Structure 1
């Protein structure tokens, strides 16, 4: 008799070339035989039951625990095959009920007045800095790179990302700049060095990122113009900034806090100021985050749609001046991160253990799947308080990028962070 797990896999995989070995030792060829062969084995019947009941969470957990084993190909290959075959028809009543329950819980948590922002940030960003050094570029850019022109290296694409954002900020000498979610300091230092006399304040809730950012700014003799602070944007008062930039942080705000976020942006932005938001986005509301990502990677994160973001901007009294969609650039970024991470497996395992390594492999592979097959993308939204703060055409972006390339050609090389 076929197991429930086998039945669901056979129902999902119609196209592809999968060889599945069940806990009882039975081996089954699944799919139409097209494409590269992927061979997987599930170690025990309990693992079969868990994945069958709750695939979005338990598949990742079983892979972490070594109970779902990929013997040929890799976990990305398996997930890609599943995603290219998946339709809503596979969801039965128990699975649908579980999904509804998760949506309700995540929606509730995003609206609770209790502030867990620092704890949630520390869960991910206060991991060993040596972990991130394994796969990030030399400037530690942990957000979507910009592969323009196509085929450039990760390092070149991350510089292109910073250049593209800086061009849209319309920087002028001696402006005050706020970066909400300053990471390891790369963007703030780029802005400070690219434009004469600008004063940059970068805020973060990660103590590890804060430490490294300050060290990097000190080494580049920028500490007097680039200050990094352990600060929640929600409690900032009494200051106005000519420019505000936020890269890869909005995904951590939570859908219940969008209105508050943009009201704070309005409060902190000068009357003739410009703000640039760079965030992962989805094609339509989902109301909840993937269960594996929520539990193990980004607690209480939420990827918004453009349609969920725009009303909050409008309610805050801000004007949308430009929206750009970067469709597959994060898929390219994640592919390079995963390849680098896998190439340094021994170092990652030495830092933590095999289970942690597989958790991050699953995270990076699953995230790339999201951009390749779930139509996730990156949005860049430029906002201001009045319509005269930005030009009436987009030619300025290319013009500013050309000037920034001249700056990059003479910029001192970045120092390698040594631990």
Structure 2
């Protein structure tokens, strides 16, 4: 009976994607048209009723536990799922509560405080955990992450003596490089104790204590310190804000940014407003919500923000994730000294499936540049970015 239910579901899927399923009784069925490159092995311990009701979450958990095996590329599996998204995902947007300071911190700790030792295994030398920028297809990950930081800093058009804030400053390389290259006073803020500790170590080792500082706090606390900045960047943090908190984010930026100041928002995006993947929300980024581009753009006029530039680095993020995934797999022995096989399978699925979603267009990565009020003193073309 349960096998028949799954068989019916798979028969309803897009026939353009050929795949095979090996069931727990040893029998294999083929679905779709063409040559089969993907085979899914389903064990008898998979809760089939739940798989029908919550396919993404149940499938992800079953893969983590080894009850489902994938013979082929995870990217092919994601392309299959994405082509059947109306069948597998709900259209309803999540009704998420506003994140308190305490809840926001616990969500960040869930992902970013796994440990600096873990992230240092597969990130680049800067430990940049966001989309890199490959100016040349042969750029190494290290070079591409420096390219990304430089691309952000160039867009902000920094000048010596200006003040820069990085909201969600990660392991600190953006504020450090901004101080080194542009002579600005740079300030970072993070909720991650691991990132805070590593950033301070880097600042001290480079002798930049008088020029760069980092705060361990919620970004919403900064206005209480009467701080004000010429330029603000936020790279890979907006996805954690939560949909109901967008006005709070924009109001906070407004209180921190000087008149005519420039803000660069670097964030993962959806094409339209969509609920988050339940497996990702439970195991990878609790409390997260990926915005659509139009959600962000529509907010700007409400705060007298003037849009300057929008750029999509979607394929750059796919390549970034390819690099992370390869480095992760190359260092599995080191990862196994820290975590069990369930953790490894979870991260493998996360990294490889994310790359697939960026490559097939399910996700985008946008850099959105805007000013507070009218600023007529900025460069008139993009030519300066590529000098």
TM-score range, shorter chain: over 0.9
Tell me, yes or no, if the aligned pair for 2:191 and 2:217 is still in contact at 8 Å. yes
Scaled by the length of structure 1, the TM-score of the pair is 0.86
Q: Cα distance, 1:351 vs. partner? A: 0.9
Aligned to 1:204: 190
Task: Measure how far apart 1:114 and its partner are.
Answer: 6.7
Q: Distance in 1 between matches of 2:382 and 2:305?
A: 23
1:61 maps onto 2:49 in alignment = no
Matched residue SS, 1:140: coil
1:15-414 → structure 2 map (5 Å cutoff):
15-34=16-35, 37-44=37-44, 46-70=46-70, 72-83=71-82, 85-86=83-84, 88=86, 90=87, 96=90, 100=92, 103=93, 106-109=94-97, 111=98, 115-196=102-183, 198-237=184-223, 238-286=226-274, 288-388=275-375, 390-391=377-378, 393-395=380-382, 397-398=384-385, 402=387
TM-score scaled by length of structure 2: 0.93
* Gaps in structure 2 of 5+ consecutive residues: none
| TM superposition shift of 1:247 | 0.5
Q: 1:352, CA displacement in angstroms?
A: 0.9
Contact 1:204–1:230 at 8 Å: present in 2 too?
Answer: yes
CA contact (8 A) 1:259 1:316 kept: no
Q: What is the number of equivalent residue pairs in this alignment?
A: 384
- The alpha carbon displacement at 1:397 in A equals 3.3
Say what the alpha-carbon RMSD is for the aligned residues.
2.0
Provide the residue aligned with 2:15 in structure 1. 14
Q: Which ranges in structure 1 are unaligned for 5 or more consecutive residues? A: 403-419
Residues 182 and 107 from structure 1, CA distance in 2 versus in 1: closer, same or farther, beyond 3 angstroms? same
Q: Is the 8 A contact 1:259 1:313 kept in 2?
A: no
Distance 1:44 1:185 in 2: 47
Secondary structure class of the residue paired with 1:319: strand
Residues 51 and 59 in structure 1, CA contact (< 8 A), matched pair in contact too: yes
The answer as to whether partners of 2:46 and 2:62 remain within 8 angstroms in 1 is: no
Kept in 2, the 8 Å contact 1:277–1:380? The answer is yes
Give the Cα separation in 2 of the matches to 1:224 and 1:381.
Answer: 30
Contact 2:133 2:148 (C-alpha < 8 Å) held by counterparts: yes
